[in-house]
Amino acid sequence: MDMFETRIRELEETLKYHSKLYYDMDAPEISDMEYDKLYRELEELEAKFPEYKSPDSPTVKLAAKADEKFSPVVHQVPMESLADVFSKEELFEFDSRVRASLGAYYEYVVELKIDGLSVSLEYENGIFTRGSTRGDGQIGENVTENLKTIGSIPLRLKEPIEHLEVRGEVYMSVKNFLKLNEQQEIYEQKIFANPRNAAAGSLRQLDSKITKSRNLDIWVFNVQQIRGKTLNSHFESLEYLKQLGFHVIPEYQVIGDIQQVYERILEIGEMRGELPFEIDGVVIKINDFSQREQLGSTAKNPRWAAAYKFPAEEKETKLLDIDVQVGRTGVLTPTALLEPVRLAGTTVQKATLHNIDNITQKDIRIGDTVIVRKAGDIIPEVVSVVEKYRQADAQPYQLPNLCPACGSETVREEDEAYVRCVNAACPAQLVRNIIHFASRDAMDIEGLGPALISAMIENDQLHSYADLYYLNPMELISLERMGEKSVSNLMEAIEKSKQNDLSRLIFGLGIRHIGQKAGKILARQFGSMKRLMEAKQEELTAVMDIGDKMAESLVEFFERPATQKLIENLEQAGVNMESNFALTDTRFQGMTFVLTGTLPTYTRQEAQKIIEDFGGKAASSVSKKTSYVLAGEEAGSKLKKAQELGIPIIDEAEFDNMIK
């Protein structure tokens, strides 16, 4: 194998890996621009050495595939991807190819390229019947119920058109994205890299209530197929879609000259930072449908459209200082404070530095001239240092040894990139800690929002979770927007929370590595807070799904005098310290079940609860440790893997026999 074939194979594997992260897991590790650079390199090598091109190359076949947790949808009209152009020269080359094929006069429609998740919406006689993701363009995922939660998608059109399929982009506004990540951080859940990944992750949820809570939106931009109406151009179709009640992509224009198209692209580039949603480029499409048919498509892209991708803009500026904030979990997060610089349509004064390892690796020092980039993510980042401008007295940066919020010593565990404050009474963590404690999945104290918590802390009424149960109603009335009714409702919610199951309290305490599921497991296993606090590390690790880190964290947390005092105060206030659920039948203890397909009578959630109530575990993937695979209709790859591994496969009838 020569060096060119070796490089082609490397690029294929790298692109497939990153495509899977982007499309299937909504968790990219590289920027779109970095991906596009690798993709372009592969295209160029395949053009020079076609004998080395694989039939399943990423340049031929999209790596995205439908997730088996959703039923597949075969797209009658393929949902094609667009060829990308990255410069004025490439844009004009695209236009030259169009001109050579059409000869006659033609027009383009210029649109914003929304950075979201592409979906198909199908209507019969004006009623929304099915919605699906793009998938690989041929087969997508049925996400109809989730799409119905998006308020801007009409469930009934203003005309009873016989049949209509439209394509749109589900997105999350910048405002909702920032709000979601703030909530994710509070609950120690996944932080999304950008609005596109947040939208994709939110739409592909099994629970449509989660999708609804994420406040998604949509812009519709294409008619895929239609019966009962004749449309001759793209502009005409967009105007018609507006009449039907769709939220049609804004700012579209019909332009007949490629130079004017380019000027419009530059205009959009300047306004992108002012938009309430993210765009990553501009789409240009031939307006006339008959001319589109004449141009046709390649194996992967239509020849009548292109996507102009905005470059990852980078600029130099000065790093004035490094600000260190303390998060709810005590993590010290460094942020670069910059001389203001105009970047991707916005004025940037702050940029993320991620963690101390990133600062050390790039040797970033206060006073340095740095290169800042904003390549699709909301928060800009410091890419590198321009060392030739470095001042002679600039010193390597170190995170403070003392917490900037409370003065306690900071620690860094060997296997972590983060430095953190471990003082549970740290004021910087208190607001977020109490927000988490009062959240729906924890103690569920309705009416206790961030603004009220902050006001009570500023008013010296809250110093810990336990103080919630010793509040004076008369002092609360003095707070802004807290009338007698509001105070009464809040006090009722606090009183009601005392009766919660122990599992909610465990989760609400915000113990590192202990999530909602672990809280339930620990409450069921130990039965009381007293018993859990007395448990040794080896006793904890003996519990299914409780690993070494979780056990260490629990022991460390409960050994602290401040924790013991906190628990004592909660108990004296009347907060329940016992599990309302005790395993009376442990027939499934030590067993792991995997569910696949659709069961005749049980929902997946119902079957999972039964398994857990009998002490078992419901896992999401099949392995050699799987005890049984419970399979229903349309079981997918999990069933096949179970057969290959020789795992026992049972149906609902056999499952019923096991639980009776």
Rounded to an integer, what distance in angstroms lies between the CA atom of residue 484 and that of residue 461?
18
Residue of 254, 248, 243 lying closest to 222 (CA atoms): 248
Site of tokens 């792991």 = 592
Q: Which residues are paired to 348 by β-bridges? A: 341
CB 237 within 8 A of CB 292: no
Rounded to an integer, what distance in angstroms lies between the CA atom of residue 45 and that of residue 15?
14
Residue of 216, 308, 304, 227 lying closest to 263 (CA atoms): 308
Phi, psi of 185 (to 5 degrees): -65, -40
Residue of 556, 560, 628 lying closest to 594 (CA atoms): 628
CB 595 within 8 A of CB 607: yes
Q: Name the token pair of 421.
A: 């404050």
Rounded to an integer, what distance in angstroms lies between the CA atom of residue 468 and that of residue 495?
10
Rounded to an integer, what distance in angstroms lies between the CA atom of residue 437 and that of residue 220?
40
Q: Name the token pair of 342.
A: 């105009």
Q: Name the token pair of 217.
A: 């939106």
Phi, psi of 604 (to 5 degrees): -60, -40
Q: What is the DSSP string of 112-137?
A: EEE-SEEEEEEEETTEEEEEEE-TTS
Q: What is the DSSP string of 395-461?
A: ------SB-TTT-PBEE--TT-S--EE--TT-HHHHHHHHHHHHSTTTT--TT--HHHHHHHHHTT-
Rounded to an integer, what distance in angstroms lies between the CA atom of residue 576 and that of residue 578?
6
Question: Catalytic pick from 65, 69, 88, 113?
Answer: 113
CB 379 within 8 A of CB 338: no
CB 242 within 8 A of CB 235: no
Beta-strand ranges (E) seen in 41-89 are 72-74, 83-85
Rounded to an integer, what distance in angstroms lies between the CA atom of residue 322 and that of residue 632?
56
For the range 482-486, what are the long-range contacts, defined as Cβ-Cβ under 8 Å and sequence gap of 24 or more? 482/452, 486/447
**Helices and strands in the chain: count of H runs, count of E runs:** 24, 22
CB 344 within 8 A of CB 273: yes
* Angle between helical axes of 174-186 and 427-438 (0-180°, round to 10): 90
CB 456 within 8 A of CB 479: yes
Distance, CA of 461 to chain centre: 36
Whether 20 is a known active-site residue: answer no
Q: Is the dihedral of CA 389, 395, 401, 404 positive or negative?
A: negative
Rounded to an integer, what distance in angstroms lies between the CA atom of residue 6 and that of residue 12?
10
Rounded to an integer, what distance in angstroms lies between the CA atom of residue 509 and that of residue 327?
15
Active-site residue list: 113
